[in-house]
Structure 1
């Protein structure tokens, strides 16, 4: 099987979603991103890691005892991801893109810079994460795909292939949004364990964290590909080697 990037012909392009529904979805996406930056990223810059560990803030207790280069990578990852989360929704704001193209381009450059910093730093901290081998492979794969999709988005727009650029940016922000969906999946995975025997928080959290390194981003990519096809943008399909793909 080979993977090919396809652009459906005009006759197969699905109509765009209603503008009102799109605006609501965009607002929910933007508010979710800002909320995670405010409640999950900002606290790391209000005190030192040992202080935050004592207050049980995020993963501070795990990283407080890590080597200095891991702590530096952690902060770089937080900064890069926070920048990407905040600027990502602006890349999908049609009004900004059409009326202020220069602002759109500059925010896009800063966004992709944030992804580059956050992705590379994420690969550094992945082997030291609290989720062990599952976290290494789950978050490591996320970091690699985050960087690859960002590079493909940049390369596409440099070639002036706007449709491919839009597809890659949708995929890339779906991966950026893993920072939000991770924090939605965790409480859900904790709650669903309550009916099964005696509930012990630490054990339940460990169970949830054994799944979430993959669960936080794989469904996002599925939704992203659905959106790409719904909008008639170039999408990935698996076709037999040597055969012309069906469109």
Structure 2
């Protein structure tokens, strides 16, 4: 007869890959959308025109020295490239079927993170959130560079599990480009609904932006650590769901 345990486990076994696929689809779609929406205006218009329209962060950089403006553009373009390419590295099927493409894309992502991280350190002192922004965005840049560098060093040693763990962390920090904008929308929307609050859009944006330097990446990194820890437990044969009791033989 068929083992009842196998029958009972099948629905859960099917749900886990389906949930993982749905999560990867959502993450990939958000990364692509934000990369295109956030970067395209700066590639198609000047900082002066964007600042006149009070679009994005243009007003903060339009009068900065040339080196700062250049670092801002490098951060935007390289960060957008990292955001656009990173989620595809997480798809197990793509890694297995196209290892050469995975390696080439991974090298591009590492270069993009390197450029975006270093330029992020350059522009962090002139961010709109003041000291909180210097600490929050500066810490993000340092950790982003460190995670990518340690991921590269691990794969050079042939340590695939460590490489995956560090690149999961690097992706969580890259995804700050998405969560920053999500939190800005949530915080601005909450202010508009709060009775008696200042309804000026610029003021609401400034208040929201003062909170996101840490909020944009700390929760992401916490989630990444949980994912890494769960993967290690499974790899080491750690706690797993208990199997259903064996049914008596008929």
* DSSP-derived class of the 2:232 partner: coil
Give yes or no for the alignment of 1:207 onto 2:173: no
Sort the Cα spacing of 1:25 and 1:96 in 2 relative to 1 into closer, same or farther, 3 A. same
Paired position in structure 2 for 1:226: 226
* CA deviation profile, 1:117-148 (whole Å, cap 9, x unmatched): 00000000111111111111110000000000
Range with bigger deviation, 128-137 or 170-179: 128-137
RMSD over aligned Cα atoms: 1.7
Which sections of structure 1, spanning at least 5 residues, go unmatched? 1-14, 235-247
The separation in 1 between residues aligned to 2:198 and 2:83, in whole angstroms, is 34
> Deviation of residue 233 (structure 1)?
6.6
Higher share of residues assigned strand: 1
CA contact (8 A) 1:64 1:71 kept: yes
Sort the Cα spacing of 1:118 and 1:220 in 2 relative to 1 into closer, same or farther, 3 A. same
CA contact (8 A) 1:166 1:233 kept: no
> Deviation of residue 87 (structure 1)?
0.9
* CA deviation profile, 1:94-128 (whole Å, cap 9, x unmatched): 11111111111010000000000000000001111
* DSSP-derived class of the 1:192 partner: helix
Give yes or no for the alignment of 1:181 onto 2:179: yes
Sort the Cα spacing of 1:180 and 1:212 in 2 relative to 1 into closer, same or farther, 3 A. same
Q: Work out which structure has the larger RCO, using CA pairs closer than 8 Å and 6 or more positions apart in sequence.
A: 1
- Aligned pairs for 1:96-115 (under 5 A) are 96-115=94-113
Flag the structure with larger Rg. Answer: 2
140, 156, 159: which one aligns with 1:158: 156
- Aligned pairs for 1:11-50 (under 5 A) are 18-50=16-48
Range with bigger deviation, 74-83 or 224-233: 224-233
Which sections of structure 2, spanning at least 5 residues, go unmatched? 1-12, 235-250
> Deviation of residue 178 (structure 1)?
0.2
Compute the TM-score of the two structures, normalised by the length of structure 2.
0.84
Sort the Cα spacing of 1:63 and 1:208 in 2 relative to 1 into closer, same or farther, 3 A. same
* DSSP-derived class of the 1:85 partner: helix
The separation in 1 between residues aligned to 2:168 and 2:121, in whole angstroms, is 22
